[in-house]
Amino acid sequence: MSQIHMAEAQSVNGKAICVIEGQGASLEVLKSWVAEHRAPLEAEWVRYGALRFRGFEVLGPQAFEQVAAALEPDLKNDYLGTSPRNARSQYVFSASELPPYFPIAQHSEMSFLPSAPRKLFFHCTVAPQRRGETPTVDWRAVWRDLPQAMRETFAARGVRYIRNYDGPTSPKSRDLWQLKRWDEMFSTTDPAVAEQKAVEQGLRCEWLPQGRLRLVNERPATRVHPVTGETVWFNHTQVFHVAAAALEYHRIRQQQKTLRAIFFDALTAALTALKKRRKAAVDQPMHATHGDGGEIDPAHVKTLVDAIWRHLVIEPWQVGDVLAIDNRSTGHGRLPFTGPREVLVAWTGV
Ligand SMILES: [Fe+2]
């Protein structure tokens, strides 16, 4: 009888999750089990939006890459997202090099691009001493929970994303929210090559003084899940909108109740007010409006963040965990932490 069990469990905040318990099974045993259980595994993956593999002899980028490839052979390594990342193997990267105090709000990977991956994988090689979870959220539940008028507005008007990047020759920015430079994102210092890569993703380029680059694009606010036919909230408003960071820090303060969270909540609220006064929305490092350029109602951003936190699944990392996410239905983020932490990421094609 197989030592591997797939069952529903409860996250530490009381939400239903699907856990595949290995009880010390090796990488090879896991790979054969995946091959033999492909249909039920896929069904539960779609149903729960995420699978957590726990208790397997799986540790490090090479082993993780093999688990991800066993689940989905179509791994990719091109990335036009916002997080700074370092390569750890051909298809495995550090999840984010952002500093520990920096939260990452819930998002589906690259949902602001037409090439958002189908599936996404995380692997913990060093579990944080305190906090630092990678929460997930089911966007189908978030969508159902939003007020009807708000859903109609987003469905009709979509979302425009605006990102402002420094370049290799720009003076160093002191903005806390400044993204990595465009030459880092496109892996080239040649503006023509960067522009071509941007255009391939449907991004409009606007070259600004001092070698800066503004990227603008519009996307629908939702998508239909290709397997279940359900509508899914599928956009980055809660990450890009200028008011979002302060709302996120406020929720983190309520959840973590640490002095640091209290400090960052107050700081972010003050800095957000300041940055709105100092820079027009279009000049902020990131911002989201409706697709027609009209500002998103700030009350809608608050309603959205509240809905996300109502459905947030929070489960602490254990060393060796692999979290497999259906990116078409389920978001992920990161809560601030202290001490060492290493989480790796891999993703598939569309
Ligand atoms: Fe991400």
Give per-residue pLDDT as tens, 304-321.
999 999 999 999 999 999
Residue 230 CA to ligand 1 centre (angstroms): 22
Q: What confidence category does residue 180 fall into, taking pLDDT thresholds of 50, 70 and 90?
A: confident
Residue 262 CA to ligand 1 centre (angstroms): 25
Please name the residue that has the structure tokens 């090439």. Answer: 115
Residue 134 CA to ligand 1 centre (angstroms): 10
Which range (11-25, 105-119, 218-232, 266-280) has the least confidence? Answer: 266-280
Q: Is the pLDDT of residue 177 over 80?
A: no
Q: Is the pLDDT of residue 1 over 60?
A: no
In this predicted structure, what is the pLDDT of residue 134?
A: 98
Task: Look at 326 and 3; give whichever has higher pLDDT.
Answer: 326
| Residue 61 token pair | 């980028």
Whole-structure pTM value: 0.94
Q: How many CB atoms lie within 10 A of CB 329?
A: 28
Residue 119 CA to ligand 1 centre (angstroms): 11
Residue 96 CA to ligand 1 centre (angstroms): 8
Residue 283 CA to ligand 1 centre (angstroms): 23
Domains of the chain: 5-138+315-348 (3.60.130.10), 140-308 (3.60.130.10)
Pairing of strands 204-208, 136-138: unpaired
Rounded to an integer, what distance in angstroms lies between the CA atom of residue 185 and that of residue 85?
A: 10
Residue 333 CA to ligand 1 centre (angstroms): 6
The string of DSSP letters for 110-123 reads TTTSTT--SEEEEE
How do residues 45-99 score in pLDDT, each as one tens digit? 999 999 999 999 999 999 999 999 999 999 998 876 667 788 899 999 999 888 8
Select from 340, 350, 330, 266 the least CA-distant residue to 135: 330
Average pLDDT over residues 171-192: 85
C-beta of residue 283 within 8 angstroms of C-beta of residue 242? no
Rounded to an integer, what distance in angstroms lies between the CA atom of residue 97 and that of residue 9?
A: 31
Strands (E), the chain: 5-10, 16-21, 50-54, 75-76, 93-94, 104-107, 119-126, 130-131, 136-138, 159-165, 204-208, 212-219, 222-224, 231-233, 286-289, 322-326, 330-334, 337-338, 342-348
Q: Is the pLDDT of residue 324 over 90?
A: yes
Residue 85 CA to ligand 1 centre (angstroms): 11
Residue 109 CA to ligand 1 centre (angstroms): 5
